[in-house]
Structure 1
Amino acid sequence: MSIETLTLKIYGMTCEGCESSVHHAFNALAGVQNVEVNRLLEQAVVTYDDELLDKIQIINAVEDAGFSTT
């Protein structure tokens, strides 16, 4: 197990429901250890096992939830 931390800018979160949606999207991924989502800072900090998950999968989860990282 190799634990990594990724900080992502996330655009489009306008309410607590959006924040919750992003949080749930990350938690649905195998290998996620911890998630901190802050809509006011427009960011999420994800701690994950990089043997089970990669950055592309994390970014795809955000985009699949309807938000942007760019």
Structure 2
Amino acid sequence: MPTKVINAVIHRLQNVPRTQRGASAVEYALLVSGIAAVAVAAMFLFGDQVLGVFDRSCDGINRVVNGTDC
């Protein structure tokens, strides 16, 4: 799904008339808030899984180096 959204945004940006040279502060604010919303949603959806991956890799490295878990 994120790829469809990204492709739609790219398509929209490619079809902007050339007379519009710059984006207003409002457009930048909307873009930043959209990126922030996606980041927060990803953290809530995948946070525990990512934490588990980091914990397992930390444990594995520490076992090799120190002989103990994190």
The structure with the larger Rg is: 2
TM over 0.5, yes or no? Answer: no
TM-score with structure 2 setting the length: 0.31
Higher RCO, 1 vs 2 (CA within 8 Å, ≥6 residues apart): 1
Name the structure with the higher helix share.
Answer: 2
